[in-house]
Structure 1
Amino acid sequence: MNAVAAPAAVMLPAPRRAVDDTEAVAVLPALFVPEASQWLSTSSGRIAGEGYSWMQAVHWVAESGLYKPRQHRSHGPRSFGPTTVRVAQELAELFPCRPGIEYLVRRTGLSERSVEYHLGMLREAGLLAYIVRGTRVRGERALASEFARMVPLEFDVALGIRTVLRDEAAPAYTRAVTGIAETGRELMARLGKKASRKLRWPRLKMSPKALLADARAGADGGAGTAVSAGSRCTPMGGSADGSSSAGTTSLPPETRLASGAYKSSNSEKSKGKAGGRKSGRWPSNDVGRRYQLGRELTQQVEWLRGCSVPRISWVARAVADAGWSATEVLAWLHLRGTAQTVYRGSGLLAVLLSTAETVLDTPAKRADAIAQWRGAQEAQRRRRIEKVRADRERYDGDWQLPQSRAVHSEMDSAIAQLKSTSRAVLQRLLDDGEGSGSTSYELDVQELAGIRAAAQAGLETGDTTLINDTVHGCGLGEAVRVYGKDLIRRAHQLDRVRRSSLSTYAYGA
């Protein structure tokens, strides 16, 4: 045995070891690539020439057990198993290797989180290296990562594969294979057979509950038959292993094919699916109806805004299962009444809905409750409109009365004194003669100022009696001479506003 094959014999991975095989674990090295070395520029492996040679390395890592995911993380898959090989098989068919998460989810049937786990395991095992790392920015289109399929350095050492760097200026990951040791040929042949086979999973369009029930029935020997991982049913030639999972599938008679009356079951199923749903959405189940009711309640009930939708859905599960709508729940809350101060909306809702489905147990009762609720809403709306109208009529003016009662009393006394003075002067003017409205009276400065002050005070409270009496008794010209055009115009405006139904003025005599 030469010097190259000697270390290879020590590191040659054996088949899956038994549970009590502890000596093999001691001699096999661990296989792990840290995150900083998962890029093509920092990787210690070499680029695989094609998908076939890369799948040989994938199967070697899978059966050697050198990579243990749970030694480096506390979550995710426990081992590098068939699921990881299935994901790698999809990657081996891509050129360039630029898979999107949605693409792998659609091809493998796994969840998005599972696909991310297995891609991370392939990177940590040294089988993938980043060329370009994808990005996910909110509001923009997600960009997929581009990988290079790598062969780990441990694989070359274990099988005695000899590599050479043909161009010294080229990076180390461009090494080319020149030969293999005799001790590694048998293992390489066996890995080649595995790489040439395809792992096929049955793609059954069934729900997880149906799959679980079918598997239990097959295990109990019932009517259900479990589909093996190697069976692949084809519509024309049967299955690959000589058995059919359908059991009752048969070809149509030639008469129906010749007449053109035969329609395949796939087209019938597709039409049934297209007609079974409306507006592109499948009908909701019990959980979906609960969440829909909880979402509507958090949007329409004031004291439930900000509450958790799952919690409200769980609280309202009884009425949701009974077929209640959000309008019916609002009508019931109106009948029960709510607290003025709500500390926990979900707790109050649970108390109010405790007997709802037993009291309003028929659609007719719920319809009556909705009618009462809508009537109360209409009455409340009318009261609110009347209140707003009354407030506007009361506070529409620019000037507002002071709040102090002492100021009110002083203002009332001052206005009464001015009114008495102005009326006495006006009465004296009227007693002097019966003018036709164009008579001019001689007034001194103090009397004229007192009359104008009394008229101004009356206008501030909405009283235009003094000016109107002067206009009617002495004429418009004399009133303009005494009071001025501004006071006469303001008195006219107040009279017009007073006659409107939208305004109300109250003043003392």
Structure 2
Amino acid sequence: MPSCQLTHANRGVSRGISTPSDGTQGQETGTDTFRTAPAQQWVDTTTGRIATDPYSWMQAVHWVGGSGLYTPSRTYGPKWGPTTVLIAQEISALLECRPGVDYLARKLKLSRRTVQYHLDMLREAGLLVYRSKGTRLTGSLRVASVYERVIPTAFDEALGIRTLLRDENAPAYERVPVGMAEQGRKLIGKLAKKAARKVRRRGRKTASSGRGRCTPMQVGTSAVNSAGTSLVPPESKLAGGNQDCPTPKKPKRGQRKLNETGRRHQLARELVAAVPWLNGAAADRVAWAVRDVADAGWSVHEVQAHLGLADAPDQSVVRRPSALLTYRLKGVHLLIKTKAQRRNLVMAWQDRMLSRREERPGADWDLFGGGPSSGAVKRLFTEAARLSREFLAGDQPDAVEVAAGQTTVLEDLPRHVVIDMRRDAELDPAIIHSALDCGMPEADARRLYTNRLVDQALTAFSTDTRIDTYA
């Protein structure tokens, strides 16, 4: 019966097709007429037909690879090979032909550029055509391209496949095969075996596979060496088994030290969590704002102390907290250079917090977002603060006062008195500092208040002269 195959766009160019020794079709003249132009890589402009099933499409893929008719137009990048067939095999398994580049690269462990090169070759060979092209705009929703698996016209012509368009009003790419010439049956059988065989990616050679064997392999059954007799080495020359391993285990590394950039971002995250008016600010912007003080070695408490000595801004007015932070920290690392100055800055901030706490209960709520919003909770807190002040101002018979020059035996103090003194010292480290100034030995202070509280008091309240940084 006559063929209903459409004529090719380059029908005027003759291609001498012959059957090579391996059973696949080849090109005699070596011309590149098999390439599909970009304008014909769409479903509406293609001259091929849509594959009715993935199996037939894989036959066309193997035919294109073995025919030699197609060569890529690019002079760089990969050529047609097993990787192209591997990608085509993954595309044939998709229910909807929408192969994302990232998906194929992750599934086949290839680079994105390699996947893009092979997709270009499949389109240029006439095996894939666009149904809709995806978007790659930065900042918007990215959509993958939708393809159609197409069998090129050259495949039908080479194997003598007859096609028919069942509906006259349907587009030409919907024609279906209805018969095949006798000379193409042997070739289609070979292509069927290739399409049924799954292609797998070759594993990379490991470093151990290229090295020689430790023990030479002996081949043959003869015990006599043809090259002559060889003496067996004495026992003293044999290895004793104490040789070091060629690949010793590396010791586990500790926590990696932060570099300059990491230190800036760490300080930025701590400030965003500690300062109320920085809540919600971008950590990258805050890291840029604190770059100078972070490089100078400032801690989060020192930066918070510098910000706390100034009036807290109205959070409803601050539109960009990072800009306000940049303004307040500008040049402060040049004014406060030493650790002693930064320590005095923290002490001044702590004194201000204590004074605000003594002025009215719940004043420190302003530093942490304004406190509870419920009026009942505020009344309960105010009543508890009033009872605490009355208890501290009243007579306390269990209190122990250590005056200057007075010797007190620590073993004579009741247990509950020691517990109360440690609790008061933890709330107010100035008590330890006052006891040391009154003549209590440091060893007795450590026995009474514990080493941890004494170290905190000595660190927070140094005997060095305070430097007024805001003079």
TM-score exceeds 0.5: no
Smaller-chain TM-score bracket:
0.3 to 0.5
State the TM-score, normalizing by the size of structure 2: 0.43
**TM-score, scaled to structure 1:** 0.40
Structure label with greater radius of gyration: 1
Structure 1 or 2: larger helix share? Answer: 1
The structure whose RCO (Cα within 8 Å, separation 6+) is larger is 2
